[in-house]
Amino acid sequence: MKLLIGNKCYSSWSLRAWLLLRAKGIAFEEKLVLLDEPGFKEAIFAEAPGSGGTVPTLVDGDIATWETLAIMEYLHDSYPDLGIWPRDRAARAHARAMSSEMHAGFFGLRRACPMNLGKRFAARDRGGDVAKDVARITALWREARSRFGEAEGGPFLFGAFSAADAMYAPVVTRLDTYSIPVDPVSAAYMAAVLDHPSYRDWLKAALAEPWIVTQDEVDEPAIANLRHV
């Protein structure tokens, strides 16, 4: 398998697919395609001619899968014993629903707080749309933990790490990067994601990247610059 990804410091959708593959121990080759650079789509079409020309795109032989949720479903079909989605039917339905909500929504948070793993910003009022999104996200996290995760014994939404955690990992980084306060249950969940060995590997590589994507650099002073370049 080959996974086409964007810059690790900024590409939230790439993080989702990459993190799930790594967390589940699935062997793959990664190919970095620089965001906002000439030839971006052409580089993807060269590997996956029928794709949408976006990252992430997963290439497995003559099969190309793009769009993150489609990639996760392909991995679920390909590796049914790895727990890509929760094994319990009710938990699996819940995980897919909240992952689809993430895929299609939370634009207030996504617009105001683009993923940027190289910076840390001070807490401040980021507006009603962000507050509304954060309230909904943390409510989803608490419900998943109380209904499913706690009973399974693991620290993630449904106990063991699953596609749902991969979908929400970039949200975790946003809340952390922009110093957005959350409730204790959500804070404990965020800590588990941020401490996952596969995420730590991604972060290390992200902080070593030399490239700057201007559109994902917010216009406010950072309280910390974490990049190693």
Q: Looking at the whole model, is its pTM more than 0.95?
A: yes
Residue range 79-134, pLDDT digits in tens: 999 999 999 999 999 999 999 999 999 999 999 999 999 999 999 999 999 999 99
pLDDT range class, residue 228, cuts 50, 70, 90: confident
Sign of torsion over alpha carbons 135, 113, 72, 183: negative
d(CA 120, CA 174): 10
pLDDT at 140 exceeding the cut of 90: yes
Region 89-202: CATH code: 1.20.1050.10
Q: How far is 113 from 201, CA to CA, in rounded Å?
A: 22
Task: In the chain, count H helices and then E strands.
Answer: 10, 6
Place of tokens 């980021």: 126
If one looks up domain 2-78 in CATH, what number appears?
3.40.30.10
Closest CA to 182 of 120, 121, 129, 123: 123
pLDDT value at 229 more than 80: no
Where are the CATH 3.40.30.10 domain residues in the chain?
Answer: 2-78
Report the pLDDT averaged over residues 4-26: 98
First to last CA, the chain: 30
Please list the residue range(s) of the chain that carry CATH number 1.20.1050.10: 89-202
